[in-house]
Amino acid sequence: MKSKILLIDQDIPLQTMLAEHLGKLYRVVTANNGLEAMRKAFSEHPHLVIIDVELPGMDGWEVIARLREISSIPIMILTKKSTETDKLRGFTLGVDDYIIKPFSYAELLARINAVLNRTRRGTGTLENIIIVDNLMIDLNRREVRLDSKLINLTPTEFRLLEILTRRHGKAVSEEDLTRQMWGEYRQEGSTVLRRYVWSLRNKLEEDQANPRWIVTVRGFGYMLE
């Protein structure tokens, strides 16, 4: 199976050209800005990220820093920024290679192959990470981040959030949640469940009275919107 590359650049003509040529050898996924890049990184599970640090909104430096917080996925910078300070910043963040525009396609291809050969897919994957907007759940590390801020959850709170996240956008009944949480359904379990919903909301929501994340579906259960 071909390796998958996530190519992130706001220069659409260049991105299109590179995607066409690299697409002969790899599966290529593209993004034009930082937020889209983060979403594609989690949804597409690329083997390699190639990124320009000059991006609208969330810039490439921040994208790299966020990815490095949770993964060792290979990252190459492809940019016009050529100062030693920029290069040092990139390598300090943990990138695997730094290429300056303009560049030789043959050299780019050789360096892509070198990075992929050095870093076989394994510990760097993002397959066990779930992201919904600015909420990120790392199932391996059992960490939750909201706007990159670490949220400390108890094991039971984490399990509740994991179940709701996997069913994102769908209502889950109290009975189903209780069974998945504790292995069986008992009437008193609904009361315990509601306590944990309240506790989880207390850590995630700005306004418990008008929750953004954990929404009550009256007479049925809960849903992660």
In Å, what is the CA distance from 200 to each residue of 7, 196, 223? Answer: 36, 6, 13
Point out which residues pair with 78 in neighbouring strands: 99
Torsion (CA) 167, 173, 177, 183 in degrees, nearest 10? -120
Q: Tell me the residue length of the chain.
A: 225
Local structure of 98: helix, strand or coil = strand
Say which residue the tokens 């050529």 belong to.
82
Structure tokens at 174: 């109290």
> Which residue, among 208, 217, 18, 45, has the nearest Cα to 121 in the 3D structure?
45
Point out which residues pair with 79 in neighbouring strands: 100
Say which residue the tokens 């600015």 belong to.
134
Residue 133 has pLDDT above 90, yes or no: no
Binned at pLDDT 50, 70 and 90, residue 44 comes out as: confident
Structure confidence by residue, pLDDT tens digits, 167-216: 888 899 998 888 888 776 666 667 888 889 999 999 999 888 888 889 99
> What pTM value is reported for the model?
0.60
pLDDT-above-70 percentage for the chain:
92
Structure confidence by residue, pLDDT tens digits, 70-115: 777 899 999 999 998 999 999 888 898 999 999 899 999 999 988 8
**DSSP designation for 214:** E
Domains along the chain with CATH numbers: 4-118 (3.40.50.2300), 129-224 (1.10.10.10)
